[in-house]
């Protein structure tokens, strides 16, 4: 008597591989969209954390605090909000002493950040106000059509606008 064979037939194996291929094809757009949403959330959270930290530092230390994107050498403020961002004690835009730099936030990954006022810095007063520096930040993930819009008020508070921002218009 012959013992029953254990294993899969070639036909069964091909059907399973075909089904896995179809499922992977259907799941790929979802993974791409997930990556875009994740990049957008990370950039928004980092920007909110940076501005909240700067505002809290200004209030607790009772000094003016400047927030600005910086160049690679950290010598001056530039207008690239997607790059590394400095939090500096005082009202400075260049020639920073190491004692002046409170914190350096890393560059955002896979997202572009633009500031509506096109300025190189935001200054918080000892009361936490950003008077004169209020504006909007636009966060757009790479290759995405929709992003987020953050609004900085005169009082130095940041809020996220509910409607998505149309990144194709920028």
pLDDT in tens, 106-160: 988 888 999 988 888 999 999 999 988 889 999 988 877 888 899 999 999 999 8
Which has the closest alpha carbon to 141: 167, 107, 115? 167
Q: Does domain 12-169 have CATH number 3.55.40.10?
A: yes
Residue 134 pLDDT: 87
Residue 125 pLDDT: 94
The fraction of the chain above a pLDDT of 70, given in percent, is 96
Sorted by sequence, the CB contacts under 8 Å of residue 124 that are 6+ apart come out as 54, 55, 57, 58, 64, 65, 66, 67, 130, 156
Instruction: Enter the pTM of the model.
Output: 0.79
DSSP code string of 59-128? HHHTS-EEEEEB-TTS-BB-S-TTS-EEEEESS-SBS--TTTEEEEEPPPSSEEEEETT--S-EEE-TTS
């Amino acid at each position: 008597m012959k013992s029953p064979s254990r294993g899969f037939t070639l036909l069964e194996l091909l059907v399973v591989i075909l089904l896995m291929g179809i499922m992977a094809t259907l799941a790929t757009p979802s993974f791409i969209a997930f990556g875009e949403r994740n990049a957008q959330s990370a950039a928004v959270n980092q920007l909110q954390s940076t501005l909240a930290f700067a505002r809290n530092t200004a209030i607790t230390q009772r000094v003016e605090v400047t927030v600005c994107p910086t160049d690679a050498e950290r010598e001056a403020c530039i207008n690239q909000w997607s790059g590394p961002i400095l939090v500096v004690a005082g009202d400075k835009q260049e020639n920073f002493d190491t004692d002046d730099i409170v914190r350096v936030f890393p560059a955002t990954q896979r997202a572009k950040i633009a500031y509506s006022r096109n300025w190189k810095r935001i200054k918080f007063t000892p009361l936490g106000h950003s008077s004169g520096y209020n504006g909007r930040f636009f966060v757009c993930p790479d290759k995405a059509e929709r992003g987020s819009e953050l609004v900085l008020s005169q009082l130095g508070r940041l809020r996220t606008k509910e409607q998505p921002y149309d990144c194709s218009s920028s």
